[in-house]
Structure 1
Amino acid sequence: MNNIDINGLGNINGGNYDSVGINGMGTINSDLICDELSVNGKGKTLGRINTKSMDVNGLLTCYDDIEVKEPFEINGVLSSKGGLKGQSVIVNGRASFNKGVNVDKVEVNGDFIAGEDCQCGSFYSEGRVRVKGLLSGDNIELNLSLTNEINEIGGETLKVRKARRLIRVLFFTKSRRSKLISNVIEADDIYLEHTKCNVVRGKNIKIGDGCDIGKIEYSGELIINGNSKIREKFKV
């Protein structure tokens, strides 16, 4: 194996490498397997990416699935027509996947999009999250500084609240009124603020300000402290 650096304009074949660096504008023509991938310029891969470590500080477009074995950060823009599998990811810029995401730990400070399900152990966000399938995890915390759209949420503990501090997120201009929009929420312990949802199911549920909920089903305790609209509520 060897090292490849693209500092100007270049194309390389896929294959096995120790490290690959894209500091200019580069295209990888097929599947890439490497120990280290660093993108500080503009990169494109036409096949899968399988790497031990990855840093995205520029723009990376991948036409297939991505697997990263070690924790990594996205400080630029990562766009994939496939999905993501890995240990841990911090999104400070923008990450978009057409398919599913399966990562132990996710932290979002920028913009995160999953076209299918997102499965994780823990999910923490202060940015914008859009999941077209199910967001599932043991612990999910959404601090709303922007509008989040998640089709379904399932887990053990879920906290949704207005961000306590105002943050400026890359790629956004004016922040609209922040809220969570979801069809179904289901978890053991739930706390919600500024959430619009059709059905909320759980054991212990606490509702704060700004919620618009069609139906709540709970088996333990229901506490409603805030100014919210709830059409139906049932103890099961």
Structure 2
Amino acid sequence: MSELRDVKISGSGTIAGGEYNIVKISGSGKIDGDVRCKIIGISGSASIDGYIYTDELKISGSCKIIGDTKCEIGKVSGSATIEGNMSGKEIRISGGTKIAGSMNFNTIQISGSLTAGGDVEGENVIINGACKVDGLINGENIDIKLDGKSWSKELGGEKITISRGETYSLLKIFSKALRRGSFVCESIEGNEIDIEYTESSVVRGKNINIGAGCKIAKVEYYDTLDIHEDAEVGEKIKL
């Protein structure tokens, strides 16, 4: 059996889908069909008219993928649009990423903005920026540092932390007077919950800290409940 070959597009060009060793696209390139490879590296502008299955995914610049994307390790910077689902072991995203479907990785680290049409699930979900998730955000450890308006339908995990990000640049301070972050969802459920500037109909958990800027219609707790003087909480129920 022959070894898989490497393919490369420099400038402008198109390659057919198939099985490869290493795929590199720089400039403006297109893959016409599904692709399986060990490594795919995309810089500049690229479009993939199919799914990607790879050990290592590197995207910088602008990329659009029509199908599902599966990668063991992924790093995305710039702008990426995924028309399907994303899954694998570890994904690190900076810039702006839009996913029509769901995202499922062991570790998810977002810096910038994430838009997802489905669920976002992982053992560790770390978001530093803004997120718009139409489904559930679920993980063992969820840490969201807000910079802008964010929302999800539901939020569930072992340990959940929501706070305002502190990495504001001088440009943001003076030009936008600190663009403040907030998080809105229908329900939050976990064991250890520590949130601020969050609006939710229901928060349910073991130990709950409701911080500044929160508006919570109902809190259900098992052990402890602390409420900041600047928070608005309606019904409080000890389970």
- Tell me how large the CA RMSD over aligned residues is: 1.6
1:97–1:167 distance in 2 versus 1, CA, 3 Å: farther
| Unaligned runs of at least 5 residues, structure 2 | none
1:75 Cα shift?
1.3
Quote the residue 2:194 is aligned against.
191
Alignment of 1:77-226 (within 5 A): 77-166=79-168, 176-226=179-229
Cα-to-partner distance string for 1:112-155 (whole Å, 9 max, x where unaligned): 12210111000112111111101000000111122211110000
**Paired residue for 1:231?**
234
Which structure's residues are more often strand, by fraction?
A: 2
Report Cα offsets for 1:90-112 as digits up to 9, x if no partner. Answer: 11112211001110111111111
- 2:39 aligned with 1:36: yes
Query: TM-score, length-normalised on structure 2?
Result: 0.93
How far does residue 168 in structure 1 lie from its aligned partner after superposition? 8.8
Count of residues in correspondence between the two structures? 232
Contact 1:147–1:176 (CA<8 Å) still a contact in 2? no
CA separation in 1, counterparts of 2:170 and 2:14? 36
The whole-number CA distance in structure 2 between the counterparts of 1:205 and 1:162 is 18
Q: Tell me whether 157-166 or 76-85 shows the greater mean CA deviation.
A: 157-166
* 1:226 to partner: Cα distance: 3.6
Offset, 1:167: 5.0
Quote how far apart the aligned CAs of 1:77 are: 1.4
Whole-angstrom distance in 2 between the partners of 1:226 and 1:53:
48
Secondary structure, in 3 states, of the residue corresponding to 2:135?
strand
Distance 2:29 2:169 in 1: 33
